[in-house]
Amino acid sequence: MKPINVGLLGIGTVGGGTFTVLKRNEEEITRRAGRPIRITAVADKNLELARSVTGGDVRLTDDAFSVVTDPEIDIVVELIGGYGIAKELVLKAIENGKHVVTANKALLAVHGNEIFAAAQKKGVMVAFEAAVAGGIPIIKALREGLSANRIQWIAGIINGTTNFILSEMRDKGLPFAEVLKEAQRLGYAEADPTFDIEGVDAAHKATLMASIAFGVPVQFDKAYVEGITKLEAADIKYAEQLGYRIKLLGIARRRPQGIELRVHPTLIPEKRLIANVEGAMNAVLVQGDAVGATLYYGKGAGAEPTASAVIADLVDVTRLHTADPEHRVPHLAFQPDQIAEVRVLPIEEVETSYYLRLRVLDKPGVLADITRILADQSISIDAMLQREPEEGESQTDIIILTHLTIEGNVDTAIAKIESLDSVTGQVTRLRLENL
């Protein structure tokens, strides 16, 4: 059987892992795919690196466009990242009738609709298992394994850097800035960690999962995104005392009036499995109406875990290479003409529970004022923790957990609470999900 020829764009961490695993497991992969899958061309600006990884047995070039236009190449694997040149290369590959495998969640979350439409028109596939949660086959589970279900919600720890930082803050009681430095030293965080710590990376991934789960266009621009940079060690400690862990979650939930699409630090009951995912690991919890809750756990990054997902896509595309385009699995799980325009709810309309931390003067009547404001906004209290003031201190912390309520009501209540003379500084607000 004629081998499938692959052009690899970018031979950094994941590209190198893909080359290594494909070579190491060549026999197994061929038996699964039905024909050999060979990387025959590699494009990278660093030709020295490319030569050291490949041993020079493949065509090496620093011109990626020569790979996407090469008539000998069947599948292009894009591992460059970013929105710029990667987008041009992917669209050029599609225009030249190549199938595309990519790990580029940023590109697909922002330009996915355009890319999938171009691929549909040309009759080629764009596979992106490696774009979400590294080696965990969550895209395949959502797109195929759970296709009997009406998916109700997804909640995922889908960024290993932030999960590592939160685990360290909890274990060692250290402030965010100190743990970030340690994460950078260990290689878990980039020199510029903005995309990770501000929640952008997780929001790219949540956007893609929401589209597949609910059959809606990718709409990253409508996601609510909040990172972990303002999270204080005190809140992690108080959450623990109340029986919760704080995780950065990507959440997509179906509501009668639209869908919620949000990323933010979230309190989760400590007895939930997902609350116990530590270090740089990823986990995604999916609730379907027929199957109930299913949990997917594993390494969300790294050379070989991500390469595992890239190669799984290569095997899939190879198997379906000659199939009638009409009978392939659609990019976003639903047939292209069945993708529905559904409203993404603004954060003020989201319904969840809340953790509120208030710094107050230690005097009578303070609690009564606060509870009256909450009651006026139809916010009921689930649990409360009031600290004794430190010796010689005139202020103390009050922690309130609420039942389900609308975010807009919480905004109004917080503004009124902050205007009380007995409340000092700003109210800390975190969202809480019982999952």
Domain 138-299 coded CATH 3.30.360.10: yes
Beta partners for residue 260, in sequence order: 253
133: tokens are 């949660």
Residue given tokens 């198997």 in the structure block: 319
**Residues annotated as part of the active site:** 205
SS3 of the chain: the string is CCCEEEEEECCCHHHHHHHHHHHHCHHHHHHHHCCCEEEEEEECCCHHHHHHHHCCCCEEECCHHHHHCCCCCCEEEECCCCCCHHHHHHHHHHHCCCEEEECCHHHHHHHHHHHHHHHHHHCCCEECHHHCCCCCCHHHHHHHHCCCCCEEEEEEECCHHHHHHHHHHHHHCCCHHHHHHHHHHCCCCCCCCHHHHCCHHHHHHHHHHHHHHHCCCCCHHHCEECCCCCCCHHHHHHHHHCCEEEEEEEEEEEECCEEEEEEEEEEEECCCHHHHCCCCEEEEEEEECCCEEEEEEEECCCHHHHHHHHHHHHHHHHHHCCCCHHHCCCCCCCCHHHCCCCCECCHHHCEEEEEEEEEEECCCCHHHHHHHHHHHCCCCEEEEEECCCCCCCCEEEEEEEECCEEHHHHHHHHHHHHCCCCEEEEEEEEEECCC
Nearest one of 295, 265, 313, 300 to 126, comparing CA atoms = 313
Buried b (16+ CB within 10 A) or exposed e, 207-245: bbbbbbbbbbebbbeebbbbbbbebebebbebbeebebb
Cβ count near 35 (within 10 Å)? 14
184: tokens are 């950078």
Contact present, 357 and 232 (Cβ < 8 Å): no
Binding-site annotation: residue ranges for NADPH: 105
> What is this structure's pTM?
0.95
Structural domain boundaries in the chain: 4-135+303-338, 138-299, 351-432
Instruction: Please tell me the CATH superfamily of domain 351-432, with its number.
Output: ACT domain (3.30.70.260)
Binding-site annotation: residue ranges for L-homoserine: 190
Residues in the chain: 435
Q: What is the residue-level pLDDT of the chain in tens, covering all 435 positions?
A: 899 999 999 999 999 999 999 999 999 999 999 999 999 999 999 999 999 999 988 999 999 999 999 999 999 999 999 999 999 999 999 999 999 999 999 999 999 999 999 999 999 999 999 999 999 999 999 999 999 999 999 999 999 999 999 999 999 999 999 999 999 998 888 889 999 999 999 999 999 999 999 999 999 999 999 999 999 999 999 999 999 999 999 999 999 999 999 999 999 999 999 999 999 999 999 999 999 999 999 998 889 999 999 999 999 999 988 777 778 888 988 989 899 999 999 999 999 999 999 999 988 899 999 999 999 999 999 999 988 887 778 899 999 999 999 999 999 999 999 999 999 999 999 999 999
Binding-site annotation: residue ranges: 9-16, 105, 190
Q: Quote the pLDDT of residue 391.
A: 79
Domain 4-135+303-338 coded CATH 3.40.50.720: yes
Report CA-CA distances (Å) from 382 to 73, 199, 270. Answer: 60, 28, 16
